[in-house]
Structure 1
């Protein structure tokens, strides 16, 4: 799982909440020139619109036309309905300007950028409709603001002394920012539109508060200051200011969130139902689904895809175990194979030696591995994550791992490292940065379905490199996991589009032979209910890629080549699936 690109919770404004004039032209060269200028200015204004975005993506903003003096050092635009309405107005103006460009006279590369912009902008513009006011859940238990900030600050990259001063300002801004989020949430609850897992959010915040001034988050920031080699006097001064900001802003903000969750639970204003029960909930979910899957497929299309995929994976699993009955016992009793790896680095180093025959060459595959902040490791259950690297950095990628989730030699650990590292996200972004020169495409397009779908595909592909483990067992694990997640996504649709109750949820799993205890059913139902479309990017994204590969294999036969297919797949960068499919089709035509 990669880090959230923006901290600003006005994320729905996305790339469209910008202003720049554009006009169409009948002269292809003139039109192409103006389109490039338009896209370049979108990138600049996106970077200048949010300090955290600029800092994550650019080490030297000025070299890319970005003026840091235009950027206010804070946590972003306040998430108020008034601000969202203003953003929607700006987005509509930019959309109208964008649509004046003539796609058919753009270059092939520009057409793909156009398609990326059009897909993302169209969905986000619809999501900004006033009828969806207060539908966004600020404290989603998996990705809410309370969940983002500890990781954000623990991993904050300090490159110079000014960055330390800016970090102190960011920490001071936590309470003012959270105050606005809390006010929004109270208004949301009053309107009957709150659906948050209150207990989970409170538990997470209380875990942060329990550490107080001894927080590992604060310690991580101290350690980052130490990397700058400042004088002892300066370093101690900045640490003192940072501690003051942490104790007067960060910790009080988390106390306020905890108190809010407690009050909301007492008030009974929180819903334990899905979006389907809200007035415009089904329409909102349909758009949210499209945003999460990277395509314009309807809810019914995805239901059909998941049902078909489930049956396919189940049949594949049955075909494997019918002659390998011991595999069933190993899976059901959780007696899974182990690897011989003794460190995360050993896993990455090994996979790195295996991928050249199957994946395109990449020059920069440098990386460092650090353990996840102790508090995050203890409370989140996240096994690992990959930090998005700056566009103009030195190429070193950062992998964060959580030793608390299991032993190094567990097959799940290998799978996680392959997902986040090689040939997953770390390889994916390395290839993209080397081969996709369009900064806007690399930083401003959000297609989590392609990004995460590829990483799921990569983790399973990496099973091929475990030559000392029974491949039938690994394949059975893969098919079993995919079938399970197909059912999870169908349940997500059931809760948020069809209005399933907890009983409906249990009946759904019972009907296919998954017997859930009352406790397990409640836990899973609550997670899905509070986090609509959380799993779709990973597993709908995977199924899309698997389908494209199946198509290529069928069309090309013996001419199919994994390395060529992966090159075409990675060529897309971050893109919706219509662009990904276009690149795969080009590979197929070339290979015939």
Structure 2
């Protein structure tokens, strides 16, 4: 009998050892796949900056030609095949989470290559030429950094040539931006052409150079920059302007629905999956949006009653859009109000989030060349941009919600915090998934109620109007791209259901037309976080700690919504414990 037990014990030990060996092998193979691909991916896009991040150092811009795009598609297809050979069940702990996040990233990258989205490399407010403005506004400290920057300036003609070749390919198959959203979109190109020498945007880094660079070295670098602007930058922008005016805009498509593009239904569904991380149909999203709008509308009516206003809903919206009390008189006033709100949040955010990032953020106006077609604000690592253009379109009653979303505890907190995480692979620290990132930022507007940031019924209405704006996106985006709404129908829906100013309604609808499905990520992401919170609170009861819950949400890096749901399930199963209780997952300390 003892021999039998001994034999059984050995068999159990052998099985456990074999299972562990399989798990170690799977983890090792998976780590090798994502480490190699992430390094390759960073090299592919080296030198490319936008408003959210600065690219890795480089003296040139990325290659974007059709042959390079085909190579990338082939590469990512190979990566996906390698992932297929790994069984997620053999990965333990965070390894299984890493696999789910990484596979979603690769599937999304591959889908974009399959639908050749690179043939349409711009939308209504951002594009390859305007993103270079963030490179021009970056901070440089050493001679090599300045030389790299000048190298990128000299590379602009090649880069623009490849982008316009790609756009021609799109035009040839009917894959272009709609003509209706292109009017006035060349202003940011013209402004570069019309500003010679030291007045040019791309000379900005040379106006104030660090004293650590000797005067003679500064003079040489400035001369090289002026030559690059004169010989490369301005001619490239002039050639791009001629292409846009003479070729692209005249030949752009007249329809606005994504489903009218080549393989349009599949393309729009792929965009929905990319931006929501969910497999919802356009019809289901549209119905959900209508239902949520009805709920929010009732809340808005209740808030109107609190103001004492006696007129109709439409009359109240007109009152908000036209009464001078709700609008800043100068750009500085708007910026200072935003700063005041941000500092008020600073004093309270530690009561709601346990782990805060080291990095702080500046509050700056949206650059003048972008402002006329830009959103009301944008936030990211180190920056909260406030649009001070057209002040009658920037209501103060919406500023608290905007600030919570774009600065802290929204984008300017979440993104740096993810980057500071230790123990997560880089593809989770630095990549951005819209449903998670925008969902969190919109949830922060909701959280502002509990933090006491909305001080008047008008500010509360501004919050609800922003909620309606995001829920309305579910209706409008699917209305445009699936149900074939007109541009006017979409504008009228926002005008009748939100307190947004007319200018913002026009720029926002053009954004949805030019960027299919991105607008869906906000409200669906917020709903997921609020549902996760309600589930955790019900399950944990008195053990529920709001700071620990928020830490659990923020500790994941940017992840698909189903992955976040699973993370909160583990948070509940672990008794609501903060992921930082053992201080092993992050190298940062709360201030």
TM-score (norm: length of structure 1) = 0.80
List gaps (5 residues or longer) in structure 2. 1-18, 577-591
Deviation (angstroms), 1:524: 5.9
In the alignment, what sits opposite 1:88?
Answer: 73
In the alignment, what sits opposite 1:360?
Answer: 354
In the alignment, what sits opposite 1:574?
Answer: 558
Q: Take 2:408 and 2:500, find their aligned partners in 1: how far apart are those partners?
A: 35
In the alignment, what sits opposite 1:435?
Answer: 421
In the alignment, what sits opposite 2:37?
Answer: 42
Between the two structures, name the one with larger relative contact order (CA 8 Å, sep ≥ 6).
1
C-alpha spacing 1:232/1:402, structure 2 compared with 1 (3 Å) = farther
Contact 2:462 2:499 in 1 (8 A): no
Worse-matched range after superposition: 520-529 or 280-289: 520-529
Taking the TM superposition and a 5 Å limit, the aligned residue runs for 1:318-357 are 318-322=301-305, 324-326=307-309, 331-334=317-320, 342=336, 345-357=339-351
Q: Take 2:553 and 2:83, find their aligned partners in 1: how far apart are those partners?
A: 27
Contact 2:375 2:387 in 1 (8 A): yes
- 1:294 equivalenced with 2:257 (yes/no): no
Q: Take 1:540 and 1:433, find their aligned partners in 2: how far apart are those partners?
A: 24
Worse-matched range after superposition: 334-343 or 416-425: 334-343
Q: Take 1:312 and 1:54, find their aligned partners in 2: how far apart are those partners?
A: 40
Contact 2:203 2:225 in 1 (8 A): no
Worse-matched range after superposition: 567-576 or 146-155: 146-155
- 1:314 equivalenced with 2:300 (yes/no): no
TM-score (norm: length of structure 2) = 0.80
1:161 to 138, 143, 151: 143
RMSD: 3.7
2:94 to 101, 109, 113: 109
Q: After superposition, what is the alpha-carbon deviation per residue over 1:468-506, rounded to whole angstroms, capped at 9, x for unaligned? A: 823x44333222222233223322212222333346547
Contact 1:216 1:373 in 2 (8 A): no
In the alignment, what sits opposite 2:156?
Answer: 174
C-alpha spacing 1:350/1:206, structure 2 compared with 1 (3 Å) = same
Taking the TM superposition and a 5 Å limit, the aligned residue runs for 1:11-410 are 27-52=22-47, 73-80=59-66, 82-129=67-114, 132-133=115-116, 136-155=119-138, 157-196=139-178, 197-215=181-199, 217-223=201-207, 226-227=209-210, 229-264=212-247, 267-322=250-305, 324-326=307-309, 331-334=317-320, 342=336, 345-362=339-356, 364-376=358-370, 378-388=371-381, 397-404=382-389, 406=391, 410=396
Q: Take 2:366 and 2:488, find their aligned partners in 1: how far apart are those partners?
A: 37
Contact 1:362 1:430 in 2 (8 A): no
Q: Take 2:318 and 2:534, find their aligned partners in 1: how far apart are those partners?
A: 29
Contact 1:292 1:537 in 2 (8 A): yes
Question: SS state of the match for residue 201, structure 1?
Answer: coil
Question: SS state of the match for residue 51, structure 1?
Answer: coil
1:450 to 433, 436, 455: 436
In the alignment, what sits opposite 1:542?
Answer: 526
1:588 to 572, 578, 587: 572
Q: After superposition, what is the alpha-carbon deviation per residue over 1:86-128, rounded to whole angstroms, capped at 9, x for unaligned? A: 2211111111112212211212111111000111222332333
Q: Take 1:252 and 1:25, find their aligned partners in 2: how far apart are those partners?
A: 61
Deviation (angstroms), 1:278: 2.5
Q: Take 1:249 and 1:169, find their aligned partners in 2: how far apart are those partners?
A: 10
Q: Take 1:106 and 1:85, find their aligned partners in 2: how far apart are those partners?
A: 32
Contact 1:194 1:271 in 2 (8 A): no
Q: Take 1:326 and 1:459, find their aligned partners in 2: how far apart are those partners?
A: 24
Deviation (angstroms), 1:262: 1.6
Worse-matched range after superposition: 90-99 or 31-40: 31-40
Deviation (angstroms), 1:549: 2.8
List gaps (5 residues or longer) in structure 1. 1-23, 62-67, 389-396
Between the two proteins, the alignment pairs up a number of residues equal to 543
Q: Take 2:380 and 2:473, find their aligned partners in 1: how far apart are those partners?
A: 27
Q: After superposition, what is the alpha-carbon deviation per residue over 1:292-340, rounded to whole angstroms, capped at 9, x for unaligned? A: 1133333333223322322221232234445554396765412576999
Q: Take 1:368 and 1:501, find their aligned partners in 2: how far apart are those partners?
A: 39
C-alpha spacing 1:303/1:582, structure 2 compared with 1 (3 Å) = same
C-alpha spacing 1:365/1:516, structure 2 compared with 1 (3 Å) = closer
Question: SS state of the match for residue 535, structure 1?
Answer: helix
Deviation (angstroms), 1:39: 2.8
Q: Take 2:41 and 2:467, find their aligned partners in 1: how far apart are those partners?
A: 37
Question: SS state of the match for residue 274, structure 2?
Answer: helix
Question: SS state of the match for residue 435, structure 1?
Answer: coil
Q: After superposition, what is the alpha-carbon deviation per residue over 1:519-574, rounded to whole angstroms, capped at 9, x for unaligned? A: 99876654432232242233332233233333334444555432222112112211
Q: Take 1:347 and 1:135, find their aligned partners in 2: how far apart are those partners?
A: 39
